[in-house]
Structure 1
């Protein structure tokens, strides 16, 4: 039975947060106690779901990256819990936390990189802090994890292959738990039974490439009366209002801020469109394929790494909206027989969640 402190940035429905929620739900009987420390200081939609696991305490305290007061408070907390293991999902930004944990006497200090590239706008100050924090990770982390080979190659291109600290831990999918409902949202959203619904699941963020998604949705909704779009994610509705509100096709491009369980979203769609410009090991894409949905996705290296080769013909340049329209229309007209068993096997939670647990 383990005691562990997890540091995350939010409690929203992001990839890291959903990964941790599913991992803890799957392994809850193997933990004595868990702290989830939210570094942004903001609450979110997953707060109660974490508490419902039963042996989890959520702490919501903002940690300023240049705040001596915040770091002193964290250090005292870590000293009191030196018998815990620690995992920070912040990539390079975990550096100060794992350094303080080392000084506080915590033996097992893990940094987990969940993206395959940096997601901030570079500046002299940010680049300096990033290099400094990365140096702390290299010096003080007892294990450095990545959810893709692409992430490891990006952040540590010169790592030593015999260095046991650098490990790949892919996402795990508890398909029986995930596939918990046969409910569709079509009736609730007034989508015709014979409509072909293209879906995207992800928060509004530059990495998700929503501008291209909006272009494709507008074109296909205008040109084919049977094709609908269902977009789901925090911030997407506000970002799309100027494009779709009061438009001639606003009833065919439907937007949800959040929805749980995700399986009801996947039960509603016929095709999953995922033109991200950078990713780690994307939960939403994996889940769509596990549900047997055909995909049109980016041909970026992290996505090629995470899917079976039989899907490669459906990977395109993330900004090529005309090719996306062509591919989606082809799937609509001709259909595509997906192979969900391959994905379910690749991301078997009994393998990957247990590997992560053993490292903790």
Structure 2
């Protein structure tokens, strides 16, 4: 069975974007899987790269969309994929993240309808005119017209033609009906509530899974030299990613905490201005980590992993941190509260409350035995609940069912 995985990148988010799935299923004789991406970082021969419109071409394309107040309409990447031998020979095409200025919405009908198709929907971007996470805005349930700008992470300028983009998505989505994969019931509920996607009824829930055996949860001190971290100080980890990741709340909370001993904050992800957090908090910014081993080493350095996201559709890094024996702190009323098995394993502060977040972090810092106990329980919970083999097995079964349709 030939399967083509389609995603904007290979190593960024490799656990959930089809890259790891490809590698695992290719170990089985019945599968021949390739991946096509725009941004290739690996040396894997099974990963194909299409044009990324780098340099002047990307700038012109982006400027054209900005001037027309639209997004995801003018890129020609979808047409390139249609011409690939690997696409034409595929029995099944499995789509993942198609935004990030990757594929034109106008190419969706041809890409989806010419093949038996699966689409893993990772976030609510397809349900809105332009933002990835609508947050408190409820217009996505009826009609996105004048944007209140309450959501997070938009493409193009703020004066995007929202009603036009809504109509584009409505018409495009009405013309396709692929099998849909979601990682949790929360994302399924969003799809069922949206007027754009309520016709998509072939929905399969497959939770993400990780190989907990790759993570060593009780050797944190030994891992810290790699990133220049102190061996004798408590370390808090965080991953940036814009407003949605909640860094603005974390930094304010850390400025307010009262602690006796110095601690360290180690941050991965895009460059984000953190500022001065006080004379007892040393900040390390590592940038993006693309290799799995580097991410694992980073998490194994941390005692606490802060994930005060305003919204997630799953939150894979939470279970990665738990596998590494971290005590994870998040906001309540988000999917992370359930994913981290709070309050038994994770800790959930009041939603968007700097003071509550500050109090919970401060309390844990002053109770190191609690941190260790939560880390131990978290590891056990991940081993029992989020098995990577289950994730692979369920996808293999779905592929076989669709292949035989």
What TM-score comes out, normalization by structure 2 length?
0.71
Q: Which residue of structure 1 lines up, in the alignment, with residue 242 of structure 2?
A: 205
Counterpart position of 1:194: 232
- Do 1:3 and 1:33's aligned partners in 2 also have CA atoms closer than 8 Å? yes
Q: Does 1:88 align with 2:95?
A: yes
Q: How far apart, CA to CA, are the structure 2 residues paired with 1:320 and 1:312? A: 20
Q: Distance in 1 between matches of 2:83 and 2:244?
A: 36
Q: Answer yes or no: is the 8 Å Cα contact 2:340–2:346 preserved in 1.
A: no
Distance 2:301 2:86 in 1: 49
Give the conservation status (yes or no) of the 8 Å contact 1:19–1:171.
Answer: no
Structure 1 position 273, deviation (Å): 0.9
Aligned to 2:47: 56
Which residue, 243, 263, 273 being the options, matches 1:227?
263
Alignment of 1:113-132 (within 5 A): 113-115=121-123, 118-119=132-133, 120-121=153-154, 125-132=161-168
For the Cα contact (< 8 Å) 2:246–2:310, is it kept in 1? yes
- Structure 2 CA distance, aligned partners of 1:155 and 1:318? 24
* Aligned CA distance change for structure 1 residues 17 and 279 (closer, same or farther; 3 Å): same
Question: CA 1:80–1:299 in structure 2 vs 1: closer, same or farther (change >3 Å)?
Answer: closer
2:362 counterpart residue number? 329
1:323 positional shift = 1.6
Is residue 76 from structure 1 mapped to residue 83 from structure 2 by the alignment? yes
Structure 2 contact 2–33 (Cα < 8 Å) conserved: yes
Q: What's the CA shift for 1:274?
A: 0.6
Distance in 2 between residues matched to 1:55 and 1:230, nearest whole Å = 34
Distance (whole Å) between structure 1 residues aligned to residue 179 and residue 356 of structure 2: 41
Q: Distance in 2 between matches of 1:33 and 1:176?
A: 25
TM-score of the two chains, using structure 1 as the length reference:
0.79
Partner of 1:22: 20
Q: What is the root-mean-square deviation of aligned Cα atoms in Å?
A: 3.5
Say whether the 8 Å CA contact 1:7–1:89 is kept in structure 2. yes
Unaligned runs of 5+ in 1: none
Residue in 1 aligned with 2:32? 32
* Partner Cα separation in structure 2 for residue 28 and residue 266 of structure 1: 28
Q: Which runs of 5+ in 2 are unaligned?
A: 62-71, 126-131, 134-152, 400-405
* Aligned twin of 2:67: none
Distance 2:110 2:215 in 1: 37
Divergent runs of 4+, >6 A: 91-94, 158-163
